[in-house]
């Protein structure tokens, strides 16, 4: 995905309010549309959030990690194995967020997105195997918020 398109996607999907966010999650929200200005920060954010969820597995931290893993996989990963690792870490974080907050549109969106990208990277057969999961997540997102993403 092109950086501009990814930035627009992230901007559209970021909630408008960030008042109760942890400092790290607030930084991810602000940074997510400007990640291209400092590419090594993607690596740092992924590591910081990976550590943060060990002590604070809040829904916001898990969703932020899923988002950063998607960006890392698309922008920073150099090999298919690095991409798979990033997307898998993101989908696991998003899956955990869905378990904790089953009505979270963001959690379902990032679970479906990271799962789809993992399958795409893994290959056609894996993508077909994951299609029911991705379709279910899309349906859930639209059921929870028919206007998602905001226009």
Closest listed residue to residue 3, CA positions, set 50, 47, 45, 39:
39
User: 3-state class of 133 per DSSP?
Assistant: helix
What is the full per-residue pLDDT of the chain (151 aa) written as tens digits?
444 344 434 434 444 333 467 888 888 888 888 888 999 999 999 999 999 999 999 999 999 999 999 999 999 999 999 999 999 999 999 999 999 999 999 999 999 999 999 999 999 887 888 999 999 999 999 999 999 985 4
User: 3-state class of 74 per DSSP?
Assistant: helix
């Amino acid at each position: 995905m092109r950086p501009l398109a990814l930035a627009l996607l992230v901007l559209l999907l970021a909630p408008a309010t960030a008042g109760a966010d942890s400092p790290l999650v607030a930084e991810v929200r602000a940074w997510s549309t400007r990640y291209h200005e400092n590419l090594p920060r993607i690596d740092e954010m992924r590591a910081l959030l990976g550590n943060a969820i060990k002590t604070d597995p809040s829904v916001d931290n898990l969703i932020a990690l899923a988002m950063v893993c998607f960006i890392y996989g698309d922008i920073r990963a150099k090999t298919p194995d690095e991409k798979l690792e990033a997307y898998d870490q993101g989908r696991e974080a998003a899956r955990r967020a869905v378990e904790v907050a089953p009505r979270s549109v963001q959690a379902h969106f990032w679970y479906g997105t990271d799962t789809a990208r993992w399958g795409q990277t893994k290959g056609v057969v894996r993508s077909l195997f994951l299609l029911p999961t991705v379709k279910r997540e899309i349906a859930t997102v639209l059921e929870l918020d028919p206007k998602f993403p905001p226009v």
